[in-house]
Amino acid sequence: MTRWLLLSAWSVCLIWGISPLCAQEKPNIVFILADDLGHGDTGPYGVPDAKTPRLDQLAAEGVKFTQCYSMGPECTPSRTSILTGRYPQRVGGMECAIGTGNVGRYDDAIALAGRRELGLPPRLAVLAPALKAAGYVNAVFGKWHLGYEPKFHPLDQGFDAFTGFLGGNVEYFRHVEQSDLPVYLQGREPVTREGYLTHLITDDAVAFLNERAREPGKPFFLYLPHASPHFPFQAPGDDLGRLPTKEEWNTGTRQSYVAMLEDLDAAVGAVLDALEKNGQAGRTLVIFASDNGAQLPGRNAPWRDYKGTLYEGGIRVPCLVRWPGTIEPGTVSHQVGTLMDLTTSLVRVAGAAVPDGKPLDGIDILQRVVDGAPEIPRTLYWRYRREAVTWWAARDGHLKLIRRADGDRVEEWLYDLAADPGETKSLTGTRPGDYARLQRALLLWEREMVPMR
């Protein structure tokens, strides 16, 4: 049925001479990104103590990915991979979250910050510039975290509109971070607004959708990187009437976290409702994902550990995609995938081209879902650096190698994720051949990761 609909739409395009691509082939795109949302923190992934009916709806109406990864266990590297479609190591200096106030947190990032070069250079951005060149109107509302310097501004990276904050986290009611920098901007200028941050981001998104409804012939890309449920853990009813203390900023209760989750779910619902009301839903591809795993009090079950590590809990993320008429409702995909795979898919469905003409690092994962293609084994790599600690990981099929160096102390573990998904029993001593093979593969990958800046 799905393929018949696609062929029928193509026939209509040919008959009516619509050029270059008809609406069915060039969908609107909405990419909603949660911040530090645990893999096990939504209804589709088994949360026991929160209600997320709108995310349940997305899963029922589209595809749920069960083996989706971020390309870093923190914000900046993950977002870099989404907007470039490449491993974050290819950018340089973006393997760790940029610190509050534009601080580099490992040697390369510290050096770049000292030269005022810490961020995503516009010439290395792929997704928004590619879509813009293909005729899309692009907007981003919410968290940027890809550079504080004006030269790294979203409006210079393919986006036509931006309201949001530049750093990694802001207080939800006063929209400031723990530095003296003005980080909440509308366009290029600081802005002062009243209201809860999740609601303001959602209001901006709905206003953009309403605006685009008045020009339905031009497709749009709405990138919606929410702050929630990243710390400070403040639900809509948690305003203290003052800024939190440093201790309050970084800690929170599960009760507040769940309230933030449920409020974020309602925000997703507001966007879905606006698409429906405007008649945009049927021709809009909607993605919901998290940038990395949660920290406490988030829940990454059934995976081990949390944000900031390369265990599954740090990098396995929820991912839901709805594309009416193209992706069969209620689909579940066990294909090993990454958020940068979505970039490859979005460039293709938009009829766009990669600006620099160089290959991307992801696969077209949405095409595999549409085609009902069998699962294929993947080989994926990670490197995460923060201060004196470096983590590496490689996944090849079901095998996963993790390496951690802290100064002169180096530890390595080999896991079989099929037999031991909780990463509890290292096989480095019992499978020396596989251990050595993944070590070599990781070394070769690292040699290839020469920064493009």
Count of CA atoms in the C-beta half-sphere (13 A) of 272: 22
Alpha carbon 314 to its chain centroid, in Å, reads 13
Residues 6+ apart with CB under 8 A from 200: 193
Cite the DSSP H helix spans in 30-126: 53-61, 75-84, 107-114
Please give the single-letter amino acid code of residue 66. Answer: T
Contact indicator for 394, 445 with CB cutoff of 8 Å: yes
Count CB neighbours of 177 within 10 A: 21
3-class secondary structure, 286: strand
Count CB neighbours of 246 within 10 A: 9
Structure tokens at 302: 């059934």
Catalytic one of 39, 68, 75, 175: 75
Q: CA-CA distance, 353 to 134, in Å (whole number)?
A: 8
The two beta strands, 316-322 and 63-69, are: antiparallel
Contact indicator for 45, 370 with CB cutoff of 8 Å: no
| 396 beta partners | 379, 399
Structure tokens at 423: 């990463």
| 61 beta partners | none
Contact indicator for 113, 103 with CB cutoff of 8 Å: yes
Count CB neighbours of 8 within 10 A: 12
Residues 6+ apart with CB under 8 A from 8: none
Catalytic status, residue 175: no
Position of tokens 């003052």? Answer: 242
Q: Which of 352, 442, 349, 438 is nearest to 392 (CA)?
A: 442
- Supply the angle between the helices 339-349 and 75-84 in degrees, to the nearest 10: 20
The two beta strands, 137-143 and 161-165, are: parallel
Please give the single-letter amino acid code of residue 313. Answer: G
**Preceding omega of 129 cis (within 30 degrees of 0):** no
Catalytic one of 39, 68, 145, 230: 145
Radius of gyration of the chain (CA): 21
Residues 6+ apart with CB under 8 A from 194: none
Structure tokens at 63: 């595809």
- Catalytic positions are 75, 145
